[in-house]
A = this chain, B = another copy of it.
Amino acid sequence: MEDGIKKLAIIIQYTGGKMEGVLTGLIGLVYVLYLINFVIKHKIKKDKTKEVTHLIKTGARAYLHSQYTLVLVFVVIVTAILWLTSGWGIALAFASGSLLSAISGYIGMEVATSANGRTAEAASDSVKKALRIAFSAGSVMGLTVVSLGLIGLSIVYMYLSSHLGVNAALQSIIGFGFGASAMALFARVGGGIYTKAADVGADLVGKVEKGIPEDDPRNPAVIADNVGDNVGDVAGMGADLFESYVDSIISAMILAFVGFGVEGIPIPIRIASIGLIASIIGTQLVHTKGARIKDLLWGLRRGFIAAILIVVVISFLLFDQSTAIAVTIGCLTGLIIGFSTEYYTSPNYPSTKFVAKAAKDGAGINVIAGLSVGMKSTIIPVIIIVIALVLATKVAGVYGVALAAVGMLSTLGVTLASDAYGPVADNAGGIAKMAGLGTRTRKRTDVLDALGNTTAAVGKGFAIGSAALTSLALITVFIQNTGLNVSEFSLGDPFVVSGIILGAMMPFAFSSSIIKSVGKTAEKIVEEVRRQFKRKSILKGKGKPDYERCVRIASTHAVKEMIYPGALAILVPIIVGFVLGVKSLAGLLIGATSTGFLMAVFMANAGGTWDNAKKMIEKGLFGGPGSEAHKSAVIGDTVGDPLKDSSGPSLNILIKLMSIVALVIIRFIV
Considering only residues 450-476 of chain A, those with a C-beta below 8 Å from chain B are: 472, 475-476
Q: Is A125 an interface residue (CB 8 A)?
A: no
Interface string of A362-376 (1 = CB under 8 A from B): 111101110111111
Task: Give the one of A374, A497, A503 with max B CB within 10 A.
Answer: A497
Contact flag A368-B515 (CB < 8 Å), given A390-B580, A488-B487, A497-B590: yes
A612-642 vs B, Cβ < 8 Å mask (1 yes, 0 no): 0000000000000000000000111111001
Which B residue sits closest to A382, measured CB to CB? B505
Q: Which residue of B lies closest to A486 (CB)?
A: B492
Q: A505-B598, A509-B376 are in contact. Are A363 and B365 (CB under 8 A)?
A: no
Min distance, Cβ A414 to any Cβ of chain B, angstroms: 28
A495 in contact (CB, < 8 A): yes
Contact A390 B495 (CB under 8 A): yes
A33-84 CB contacts (< 8 Å) to partner B: none
A405 interface residue per 8 A CB criterion: no
What is the chain B residue whose CB lies nearest that of A208? B362
Q: Could you tell me if A512 and B367 are in contact, using CB atoms closer than 8 angstroms?
A: no
User: B365, B376, B505, B639: which contacts A367 (Cβ < 8 A)?
Assistant: B639
Contact A496/B501 with A204-B361, A372-B515, A372-B516 known, Cβ cut-off 8 Å: no
Nearest CB on B from A468, distance (A): 8
With A389-B497, A390-B494 known to touch, is A371 a contact of B591 (CB < 8 Å)?
A: no
Q: Which residues of B contact A489 (CB under 8 A)?
A: 490-492
Question: Which among B369, B386, B497, B637 is the interface contact of A472 at CB below 8 angstroms?
Answer: B497
Residues of B within 8 A of A120 (CB): none
Give A471-483 as 1s and 0s: 1 = Cβ < 8 Å from B's Cβ atoms. Answer: 0100110010000
A595 close to B504 (CB less than 8 A): yes
Residue A493 at the B interface, CB < 8 A? yes
This chain's copy number in the assembly: 2
Cα-based distance from A511 to B379 in the complex (angstroms): 12
Does A14 touch B at the CB level, under 8 Å? no
CB neighbours of A268 from chain B (8 A)? none
State in angstroms the CA–CA spacing of A290 and B140 once bound together: 73
**A637 nearest in chain B by CB position:** B364
**A115 contacts B by Cβ under 8 Å:** no
Kindly provide the distance from the CB of A526 to the nearest chain B CB, expressed in whole angstroms: 8
Chain B residues closer than 8 Å to A379, beta-carbon distance? 505, 508-509
On whether the beta carbons of A386 and B512 are closer than 8 Å, the reply is no
Q: Which chain B residues border A365 with CB–CB below 8 Å?
A: 519, 638
Partner of A515, one of B371, B490, B512: B371
Q: Let me know if B364 and A639 touch, CB within 8 A.
A: yes
Contact B509 A375, beta carbon cutoff 8 Å: yes
- Chain B residues with Cβ below 8 Å from A636 are 364
> What is the CB-to-nearest-CB distance from A345 to chain B, in angstroms, rounded to a whole number?
15
Residue of B nearest to A601 (CB): B508
Give the number of chain A interface residues (Cβ < 8 Å). 78
- Taken residue by residue from 572 to 603, chain A's Cβ proximity to chain B (1 for < 8 Å, 0 otherwise) reads as 00000000100000110011001101100010
Q: Determine which of B378, B393, B488, B492 lies in contact with A479 in the assembled complex, contact meaning CB atoms within 8 Å.
A: B492
| Given A490-B489, A508-B602: A519 in contact with B587 (beta carbons within 8 A) | no
A513 within 8 A of B: yes
**How many Å lie between the Cα of A643 and that of B370 in the bound state?**
13
Evaluate contact between A376 and B513: CB separation under 8 angstroms: yes
Is residue A498 contacting chain B, with contact meaning CB distance below 8 A? Answer: yes
A312 lies within 8 A of chain B by Cβ: no
Chain B residues with CB under 8 Å of A324's CB are none
Q: Is A398 close to B, CB under 8 A?
A: yes
CB closest chain-B residue, reference A476: B492
Check if A368 sits within 8 Å of B472, measured CB to CB: no
Query: Is the pair B368, A502 in contact by a Cβ cutoff of 8 Å?
Result: no
Contact with B along A510-533 (1 / 0, CB 8 A): 011101100100000000000000
Name the residue among A487, A494, A498, A597 with the largest chain B CB count within 10 angstroms. A494
Chain B residues with CB under 8 A of A511:
372, 375
Could you tell me the distance in whole angstroms from the C-beta of A128 to the nearest C-beta in chain B? 38
Closest to A487 in B: B487
Which residue among A393, A511, A591 has the maximum number of chain B CB atoms within 10 Å of its CB?
A: A591
Additional pairs, 10, CB under 8 Å, beyond known A485-B487, A500-B594, A505-B598: A368-B638, A371-B515, A374-B512, A382-B502, A382-B504, A486-B492, A491-B491, A504-B504, A504-B597, A595-B595
Of all A-B residue pairs in the complex, the 4 with the closest CB atoms, nearest first, are A364-B638, A486-B492, A487-B487, A375-B512
CB<8 Å pairs between A and B, sample of 5: A363-B638, A371-B639, A390-B580, A487-B492, A635-B635
